[in-house]
Structure 1
Amino acid sequence: MSIPHSPKISVALCTHNGARFLREQVRSICLQTLPPVEIVLSDDASTDGSVDVVRAAVAECAAERPEYPVALRIFENRPALRVVKNFEQAIGVCTSELIALSDQDDIWLPERLEQMVPLFESDPNLLLLHTDARLVDAERRDIGDTLFHALEVTPSEIERIHGGNAFEVFLRRNLVTGATTVFRRSLLEHALPLPVEWVHDEWLGIIASAIGRVELLEQPLIDYRQHQSNQIGARRDTFAGKVRKALASRGNTHVERAFKAELLLARLEQLGGRVAPQILDKVRSKIEHQRFRAALPASRIARCLPIFREAMTGRYDKFGRGFRGVVRDLFESV
């Protein structure tokens, strides 16, 4: 096999008691048609031999394909760092120009990296690239769905990302799933440290979209396992589930979203001229919208007029799920 010259790739693999699936995952990484040069394993206090499984799988692949060895660097965390800081540790020590994120239980299609890397080579402004995924069960049986379908990704959202407007999309909701993501190491200069209030992939995605270009590929390039041990999965809500959410208590949801937006604004302000003024204005408007939703009165009747006025500003569409958000604010309990 002849592998063309391409930017070097590091894989940030984070694990926690994932021994059941790790051999298959690691083999799918090491045996890529365009293999990475290193795997950085950050293990969060596993007790099931996860680290040994990864070490053995890497050695197994090296014996099968010695001409393309993949270096393995291991960090074992005790106590556990938890998901966000575990990924922060892994990506922070990756050495290659491109970094691919990896969960512990998925399977990469053989040509995944070979299909993704050329987009970075052809576009110097591309900071982050993510893809769709095929959803499979624990035994890797196709469950007849894709990640983008489960997330209810719309043609309009895809078109806007293709058109260079990913920031506007991500300010409404995150569409970046870490397991499908490759990004430039240069992004870390602006994205680290990762705030624990944000999931690592959504933070990397929105920072990248604020200072550069984010793109997506619509074809599934990994098998994304859905099983009971998923820390973060992908399941499309049923109609009944959406109704339950609309009537459920809002709790601290909007307070937390406002705080997350405040953290984002603070980071973007620190980046100075890298961030366009209109980007900052959009985040400030997002904060106002979330504060409005957090302060709605307990009485459903008393909410009607202020919600109508807020809807007329267009901010439910800009920063949420539009009419769905209006309905939820009208009917949810407090």
Structure 2
Amino acid sequence: MSDSILVTVAMAIYRPNIEWLKEELSSIAAQTYKHFQVYAWNDDPNDEYDYDFLFSQYLKSIPFKIYHGLHNLGSNKVFEKLTELVQTPYIVYCDQDDVWLPEKLSALLYLFDDENVTLTCSDMYVMDENSKVISDSITKVRPRQILYSGADMISHLLAKNFITGCTMMMKTEIARKAIPFPTFFFHDWWLASFAAL
């Protein structure tokens, strides 16, 4: 991979717990892969918190931009707007309360060495409100959650989504073709199904 920015982190914000957001930004800044930028969209038009200052304190050497809408759009439309704005080859979706392992971006990006890959994703740890890990796999918390992989996943995805938005990286050109995001799908389910097709 080249030294230029290849990945954009697309983060939706709506009245976040600031302490959790700080923890998240710290984990994003600690990524071993450094060629990325962050686009965040604040979906509360009445929120006057200084997110630019907060992000600058934690993402010291990471380019970022924070967008504000005039109206509350909801998470699906926010992620759609962010997807429209992204110009890098890869996009990573991010909620406002995630905490990333340091190798997240490098591990997901590595899987794109196969040119036929459209989307990569991972399992995830589950934490409580005090940032204590309570499970090292979502499948232990949701026993019916099965993580599938491979080229023919559409039948599994149509039955039930198992790809969580905060665990996935996608080729931006494919994500942009999935616009507009339908209102009857959550963005991650829609994007995963689109990528599988």
TM-score by length of 2: 0.89
Q: Does 1:133 align with 2:132?
A: no
SS at match of 1:115: helix
Q: Higher relative contact order at CA 8 Å, sep ≥6: structure 1 or structure 2?
A: 2
Q: Does 1:196 align with 2:194?
A: no
- How many Å apart are 1:72 and its aligned residue? 1.3
- Find the counterpart in structure 1 of residue 169 from structure 2: 182
Q: Does 1:118 align with 2:110?
A: yes
Q: Pairwise mapping of residues 26-45 of structure 1 onto structure 2 (< 5 A)?
A: 26-45=25-44
Count of aligned residue pairs for this structure pair:
195
Higher share in helix: 1
Whether the aligned pair in 1 keeps the contact of 2:29 and 2:58 (CA below 8 Å) is: no
Whether the aligned pair in 2 keeps the contact of 1:17 and 1:47 (CA below 8 Å) is: no
2:80 to 88, 96, 99: 88
Q: Does 1:150 align with 2:148?
A: no
SS at match of 1:132: coil
- How many Å apart are 1:190 and its aligned residue? 2.3
Whether the aligned pair in 1 keeps the contact of 2:31 and 2:102 (CA below 8 Å) is: yes
- How many Å apart are 1:146 and its aligned residue? 2.3
Tell me the distance in 2 between the aligned counterparts of 1:24 and 1:41: 16
Over 4 Å off, 4+ runs: 3-7, 46-50
The amino acid that maps onto 1:96 is: T
Q: Does 1:57 align with 2:55?
A: yes
Larger Rg: 1
Tell me the distance in 2 between the aligned counterparts of 1:153 and 1:137: 19
Q: Pairwise mapping of residues 11-26 of structure 1 onto structure 2 (< 5 A)?
A: 11-18=9-16, 19-26=18-25
CA RMSD of aligned residues (A): 2.2
Q: Provide structure 2 residue ranges, at least 5 long, that are not aligned to the other structure.
A: none
SS at match of 1:13: strand
- Find the counterpart in structure 2 of residue 78 from structure 1: 70
Q: Provide structure 1 residue ranges, at least 5 long, that are not aligned to the other structure.
A: 63-68, 211-334
Tell me the distance in 1 between the aligned counterparts of 2:3 and 2:34: 11
Tell me the distance in 2 between the aligned counterparts of 1:47 and 1:138: 26
Whether the aligned pair in 2 keeps the contact of 1:10 and 1:40 (CA below 8 Å) is: yes
- Percent of matched pairs sharing the same residue: 25
Tell me the distance in 1 between the aligned counterparts of 2:51 and 2:21: 7
Q: 1:60 to 1:37 in 2, by over 3 A?
A: same
